[in-house]
């Protein structure tokens, strides 16, 4: 099986749903991504920082949801093992049944 450290847990990727980038928090006045407008180069206003500190904290952004793929049960190698094991159990049951019949026949 190929080495894949992300088989059980895929690494979390950054998306816009994560909320403002730290650099936007730092500089303020975040322009919309991709609008091509040059943003104001005024520095972070200290009074604005103080206002932000005084205001109640904004609700946290919705957590980024990563749908986990349950590779443990659905991997092709696991499936092969399960099928193989089932066949083995059936074969053992059939053989023991056959042996029991033979012994019964011999006893008769």
Could you list the residues that contact another protein (CB under 8 A)? 3-6, 11-14, 21-24, 26-27, 30-39, 41-44, 46, 49
Question: Which three-class secondary structure state does DSSP give residue 62?
Answer: coil
Torsion angles phi and psi, residue 43, rounded to 5: -75, 170
Question: Which three-class secondary structure state does DSSP give residue 12?
Answer: coil
Question: Which three-class secondary structure state does DSSP give residue 37?
Answer: coil
- Residue 42 or 107 having the CB closest to another protein: 42
Q: Smallest distance from the beta carbon of 26 to another protein, in angstroms?
A: 7
Rounded distance, CA 66 to CA 8, Å? 12
- Residue 26 or 107 having the CB closest to another protein: 26
- Residue 36 or 108 having the CB closest to another protein: 36
């Amino acid at each position: 099986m190929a080495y894949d450290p992300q088989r059980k847990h895929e690494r979390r990727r950054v998306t816009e749903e994560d909320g403002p980038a730290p650099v936007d928090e730092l500089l303020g006045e975040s322009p919309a991504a991709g609008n091509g407008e040059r943003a104001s180069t005024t520095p972070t206003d200290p009074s604005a920082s103080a206002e932000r500190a005084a205001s109640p904290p904004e609700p946290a952004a919705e957590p980024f949801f990563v749908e986990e793929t349950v590779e443990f049960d659905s991997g092709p190698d696991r499936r092969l093992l399960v099928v193989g094991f089932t066949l083995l159990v059936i074969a053992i049951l059939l053989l023991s049944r056959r042996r029991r019949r033979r012994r019964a026949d011999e006893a008769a």
